[in-house]
Amino acid sequence: MQGKGLLTGLSVTIRHFFGKKVTVQYPEEKLPMSETFRGGKLVLDQKKCIGCRLCSMACPNEALDLTVETDENKKRHMKKYIHKSGRCLYCGFCVEACPTKAVTWDKNYAIACYTRTDLTYDAVKSDGRNETHE
């Protein structure tokens, strides 16, 4: 029968036209992100971090610039954890390489910015503001 494909296509279109709408009003509503979401900004839990630099060594694009200080008890502390998200592949190797699970992704997918310098931030800053560094 000629036109069978046309009728099948039209039936799919009509089903979707009268079906439930799944539109999200974006600025007011945000979609929940899954646990496997890789994106946004890196979050560093300073209480868990042991300053081993494995995350920096695992990064294929060298998007992480770390500065570690050693105190008088020979314990390492992270002084700077600069993430250059403009160079980042969002591969997640840094998160997988962390033995203490101190590095994670935040679930914020709205990370657009106007300048390239805004893509570089220090994850050690605990006041919530991400200042740019060069």
Query: Considering the domain boundaries, does residue 49 fall inside one?
Result: yes
Backbone CA torsion sign across 29, 132, 116, 55 = negative
Read off the CATH number of the domain in which 115 is found.
Answer: 3.30.70.3270
pLDDT band at 120 (very low <50, low <70, confident <90, very high): very high
Query: Considering the domain boundaries, does residue 127 fall inside one?
Result: no
Residue-wise pLDDT for 94-105, tens only, equals 999 999 999 999
Query: Considering the domain boundaries, does residue 131 fall inside one?
Result: no
The residues that bridge with 84 in the sheet, in sequence order, are 120
Pick from 30, 14, 126: nearest CA to 81: 126
pLDDT at 1: 66
Q: Which domain holds residue 55?
A: 34-122
Query: Considering the domain boundaries, does residue 28 fall inside one?
Result: no
Residue-wise pLDDT for 51-94, tens only, equals 999 999 999 999 999 999 998 998 888 899 999 999 999 999 99
| First-to-last C-alpha distance (Å) of the chain | 68
Based on the structure, what is the number of domains in the chain?
1
